[in-house]
Amino acid sequence: MNSIAIDGPAGAGKSSIAKALSKRLGYIYIDTGAMYRAVALFFLENNVADGTDSRIESLLDKLEISIKYEDGAQKVILNGEDVTGKLRLEEIGKLASKFSAIGIVREKLVALQRKLAQKENVVMDGRDIGTVVLPNANLKIYLSASSKVRAKRRYLELLEKGHTDLDINDIEDEIIKRDEADMNRKISPLKQADDAYYLDSSDITLEEVVSKILSMVKEER
Ligand code: DC
């Protein structure tokens, strides 16, 4: 099976790029951040405040996450319920970042992600795909952009989804804080894999990034 790993900080354009790439290549797109967000939602619904809660292990046994595709779009199913529409809020992103630092949470999701990549050609995005989940991926990209550009993209994404009452500076602060947490956690921190290509999408359009990656895919073949 072929796989493309895309890692990078929040709002770098990973999911838009991964979606476009998967369409062009006929691969399945797997958004691993959405899985961590679903775990966060589940813990939130069960009133788990942080990683020290003694119920985490038993709750994880009751947590079932799967993904399905509707018109090519990934849907996340949490214990039988499609929760996709509840996952994009920054509050959930923040919680996902917090709970993603817990070893047993990562073990469960990494196992699921590897299983999916064994069955299909995938474009997978996240924080540890090139370093941990798919160390033998055919192509690894580390995608970044300035925090200002990333905040603006998140702002526009939320606006388009109908959210009001948004402050772009607050969004940028949250993004910076989240990056710091993701880059400095003990287990599988966000970092560029040694064999990943670094791309900065601050000053080029996402379409240009997609073309660049497509030409890399051709070179790899
Ligand atoms: O990509 P995102 O914003 O949807 O991810 C939400 C959080 O989930 C992110 O801040 C850290 C965590 N995450 C992770 O630890 N590993 C991944 N492969 C994907 C996401």
Closest-CA residue, ligand 1 atom 3, reads 10
In this predicted structure, what is the pLDDT of residue 187? 98
Closest-CA residue, ligand 1 atom 11, reads 97
List, in sequence order, every residue forming a beta bridge with 82; answer none if it has no partner. Answer: 77
* Helix or strand run (H / E) with residue 9: none
Q: What is the pLDDT along the chain (221 residues), one digit of tens a residue?
A: 999 999 999 999 999 999 999 999 999 999 999 999 999 999 999 999 999 999 999 999 999 999 999 988 899 999 999 999 999 888 899 999 999 999 999 999 999 999 999 999 999 999 999 999 999 999 999 999 999 999 999 899 889 988 888 999 999 999 999 999 999 999 999 999 999 999 999 999 999 999 999 999 998 77
In this predicted structure, what is the pLDDT of residue 88? 85
For ligand 1, whether the C-beta of 126 sits within 6 Å is yes
Closest-CA residue, ligand 1 atom 15, reads 100
Ligand 1 centroid to Cα of residue 94, in Å, is: 9
Domains of the chain: 1-27+122-221 (3.40.50.300), 29-120 (3.40.50.300)
For ligand 1, whether the C-beta of 8 sits within 6 Å is no
In this predicted structure, what is the pLDDT of residue 163? 85
In this predicted structure, what is the pLDDT of residue 72? 82
Pocket test for ligand 1, best of 100, 107, 144, 175 (most atoms within 8 A of CB): 100
For ligand 1, whether the C-beta of 128 sits within 6 Å is yes
Task: Round to whole Å and give the CA distance between 83 and 100.
Answer: 18
Angle (CA) 116-117-120 rounded to 5° is 90
pTM: 0.96
In this predicted structure, what is the pLDDT of residue 91? 87
Six token digits for residue 98: 């917090």
Ligand 1 centroid to Cα of residue 97, in Å, is: 6
Task: Round to whole Å and give the CA distance between 36 and 78.
Answer: 11
How many of the other CB atoms lie within 10 Å of CB of 205? 10
In this predicted structure, what is the pLDDT of residue 28? 96
